[in-house]
Structure 1
Amino acid sequence: MCIGCRERAAKRELLRVIAGSDADGHPAVVPDPNGTSFGRGAHVHPTAECYELAVRRKAFGRALRLAGSGGLSSAPVAEYLASRTNTCSPQKPTDRNWSSSS
């Protein structure tokens, strides 16, 4: 279930996030795209809309069961989503000449 929009979805459609630390060593919510890190995790659709809903609802702290999560940053997840949308540009289909293939 996405903690942003609260809709059920297949696990492969969601981004797993865990409690960790940012580049400065401060507590933060970090993405776990492979879903292999140990510890409690939560899931969110990998879209800006669901991420913003989760931030507005303060769902990360509750889902990860972190007491006093007022200082918990979710910037690493935002950076991951931004980099993912920048690198995932639609590709044009290539014209193939199947007559010359062996």
Structure 2
Amino acid sequence: MKAKKIPMRRCVGCMESKPKKELVRIVSNGEGGLMLDPTGKANGRGVYLCPDMECIAKAKKKKAIGRGLERDVDPVELDRIFEELSVYERKDP
């Protein structure tokens, strides 16, 4: 029997490919706003990001989220998303 394929996605912060379940998706919805997509199934263009502060800082510095979403992103809205994303930050044992 074939092994089940694990979907891989690339983090826009560190540019590492990781399993989709380990990353958090940020989606540009139809009204021009940003939202976190914990299910990974929301409609709209999305980018994936590791849930740790290092990758968040890299993505912010490189303006990778706006580039990945192919639109200009409001800095205030982006800060709100990063605050929400800090909740998802992994806690290393």
- Please give the range of the TM-score, normalised by the shorter of the 2 chains: 0.7 to 0.9
- How many residue pairs end up in the alignment? 81
1:1-102 pair list within 5 angstroms: 1-20=10-29, 28-66=33-71, 69=72, 71-72=74-75, 73-85=77-89
- Identity value in percent: 32
Is the Cα–Cα contact under 8 Å of residues 29 and 60 in structure 1 kept in the other structure? no
TM-score, normalised to structure 2's length?
0.72
Could you tell me which runs of 5 or more consecutive residues in structure 1 were left unpaired when the two chains were aligned.
91-102
Q: Could you report, residue by residue, the CA deviation over 1:24-80 in whole angstroms, capped at 9, with x for unpaired residues?
A: x9x5532111112101110000111101100100001110011xx153431232222
Structural RMSD (CA): 2.4
TM-score, normalised to structure 1's length?
0.66
Is the Cα–Cα contact under 8 Å of residues 30 and 76 in structure 1 kept in the other structure? no
Could you tell me which runs of 5 or more consecutive residues in structure 2 were left unpaired when the two chains were aligned.
1-9
| Larger of the two Rg values belongs to structure | 1
Runs of at least 4 residues off by over 3 Å: none
